[in-house]
Chains A and B, each alone.
Chain A
Amino acid sequence: MNETKDTTSTDGVGIIQMRHVSKWYGDFQVLANCTTSVDKGEVVVICGPSGSGKSTLIKVINGLEPFQEGTITFNGISVGDRTTNLPKLRSQIGMVFQNFELFPHISIMQNIKLAQMKVLGREDNQARNRSMELLERVGLTDQRDKFPAQLSGGQQQRVAIARGLAMDPMAMLFDEPTSALDPEMINEVLDVMTELAKEGMTMMVVSHEMGFAKRVADRVIFMDQGRIVEDATKDDFFGTPRGDRAQLFLSKILHH
């Protein structure tokens, strides 16, 4: 189904490569033989019904969740390998969570500075400058001394994106970044993500925002019951008739 584009092949070009990845929680299989790859600069949107394994699919990429079968490599480094320095690998992959997960006990500035200093070893003023650049970019410089709870959801998520970008990652993973937001705040977050995509950031985005997918995605992956059911270019995904499950899902989320 995905011969149309060679980016879905697994022959070594992708910065993220998954081959035949399976994962179980006890007897329950959350990921079933998932194979895909993401090229540098590519934006891939992953959608599917809840419980289909889409969040798990991106959490195994930076090793936040273990997997039992298959291989995943990021920039040529095997994620599942016991000898891999996971903290170092993760520092090269930004991640944005559904519930923002800013650290509530420290200021916005400290949230963005923390890992720059502790992981990358940047000096305080270096980290501060980089943080200011990113806060400016997401339009929140005046919020820098506040605590996360004092910001709106949309603002918190923009800070979370800045925090991820501060590590100068090679790719960004987004786990339903707008699902916990009030409707009027969704666009401010999607705008930041759109800009990021246009600048050439490699992105994997779990989202039901099909408008966003149509605007910026290169490829769309549709998952159901732990399987990658569709993995196609954006035009193919939205243009041609799909499998029953994907069609039903699309009709449901596009009509409200």
Chain B
Amino acid sequence: MESGGFDFHIVFHSIPFLAKGMGLTLLLTVLGIAGGLVFGTVLALARLAPFKVLSFAAGTYVNFFRSMPLILVIFWFYFLVPLVLGQEIGAFQSVLIAFIMFEAAYYCEIMRAGIQSVRVGQAYAGEALGLTYPQNMRYVVLPQAFRNMIPILVSQAIVLFQDTALVYVVGLSDFLYSADIIANSENRLMEMYITVAIVYFALCSWGQFQVRNLQKKFAHE
């Protein structure tokens, strides 16, 4: 096998394998965002709740996870949770739970800022009409909060998309790890790493472009 010069044929040959890796990367990203968003919203509502115990617990959770490196959280769920539960939960499930728990802490803070960005008069108006607190949140406050937050939520999603590359530590073949396997087995490090960089760059740039579009769209309304 020659090692001199660039040979991008290997990239085309490995497209099916890389696509499978990208599938895992996207799946982890989408599920991580969805789960993180749901759990993060619950945490944010708890943080803003008038019950001290609830807001303290949510606040502690957020501060704790925001102080931890993501890779450490991944290690915990992979190595420690099976010890506690007494059974394996599988690499995919363990990293997914780690991502959701970790991202939720960040989404919570984004949501909290988003909810607080909605004018208090809006909540008054909903209350004055007779909406209950949950109805007011559901129909008046949260939709506006989400809208204010969309750009930063998408930015956070892009960060998670990149962070999913960390799953190689538990042996999951995401996009980067798949490329890495080929790079090493075929001794085509440069070609594969350049390809990976281009793909990450293209997808993240597309994401940022969408963020700017959304910002413009909302600025018009």
Residues of chain A whose beta carbon lies under 8 Å from any beta carbon of chain B: 59, 62, 64, 87-95, 97, 99, 101-106, 114-115, 118-119, 147, 149, 163-164, 167
Contact B130 A88 (CB under 8 A): yes
The answer on a CB contact under 8 Å between B124 and A64 is yes
Q: Which of chain B's residues have a CB closer than 8 A to the CB of A104?
A: 144, 221
Binary per-residue interface labels of chain B (196-221) against chain A in the complex, 1 for a CB within 8 Å, 0 otherwise: 00000000000000000000000001
Q: How far is the CB of B81 from chain A (nearest CB, A)?
A: 40
Q: Mark B137-158, 1 if CB is under 8 A from A, else 0.
A: 0011001100100000000000
Taking a contact as CB atoms under 8 Å apart, the answer to whether B135 and A97 are in contact is no
Count, A-B residue pairs, CB within 8 A: 68
**Cα distance A115–B129 when bound, in Å?**
6
Interface-centre pick from A59, A102, A118 (highest chain B CB count, 10 A) = A118
Q: Which B residues form the contact surface with A (CB < 8 A)? A: 119, 121-122, 124-132, 135, 139-140, 143-144, 147, 221
Q: B128: which A residues are within 8 A, CB to CB? A: 62, 64, 90, 93-95, 97, 164
Q: In the complex, which residue of chain B has the Cβ closest to the Cβ of A103?
A: B140
* Residues B127 and A114 in contact, CB atoms below 8 Å apart: no
Which residues of A have CB within 8 Å of B140? Answer: 103
How far apart are the CA atoms of A147 and B221 in the complex, in Å? 9
Is A87's CB under 8 angstroms from B143's CB?
no
Contacts A103-B140, A105-B143, A105-B147 given; indicate if A118 touches B131 (C-beta within 8 A).
yes
Are B129 and A97 neighbours in the complex by a CB distance under 8 Å?
Answer: no
14 A/B residue pairs, CB under 8 Å, sorted by A: A64-B127, A90-B128, A95-B125, A95-B129, A101-B121, A103-B122, A103-B125, A103-B139, A115-B131, A118-B139, A119-B129, A119-B130, A119-B131, A164-B128
The chain A residue sitting closest to B128, CB to CB, is A95
Asked, given contacts A104-B144, A105-B147, A118-B135, whether A99 binds B121 with beta carbons under 8 Å apart, the answer is yes
Closest chain B residue, CB of each to CB of A110: B139
B124 near A114: Cβ-Cβ < 8 Å: no
Contacts of A164 in B (CB 8 A): 128-129
With a CB–CB cut-off of 8 A, which chain B residues contact A59? Answer: 124
B129 touches A167 (CB 8 A): yes
- Chain B nearest CB from A125 CB (Å) reads 19
Q: Evaluate contact between B121 and A114: CB separation under 8 angstroms.
A: no
Between B126, B128, B221, the greatest number of chain A beta carbons within 10 A of the residue's beta carbon is seen for B128
| Whole-angstrom distance between the Cβ of A162 and the nearest chain B Cβ | 12
CB pair A90–B144 under 8 Å, yes or no, is no
Which residue of chain A is the closest to B135 with respect to CB atoms? Answer: A118
Give the distance to chain B from A157, nearest Cβ to Cβ, in Å.
12
Chain B residues whose C-beta falls within 8 Å of the C-beta of A62 in the assembled complex? 128
Q: Do B124 and A91 have beta carbons less than 8 Å apart?
A: no
A163 to B121, alpha carbons, bound, how many Å? Answer: 15
Complex CA gap A118/B143 in Å reads: 16
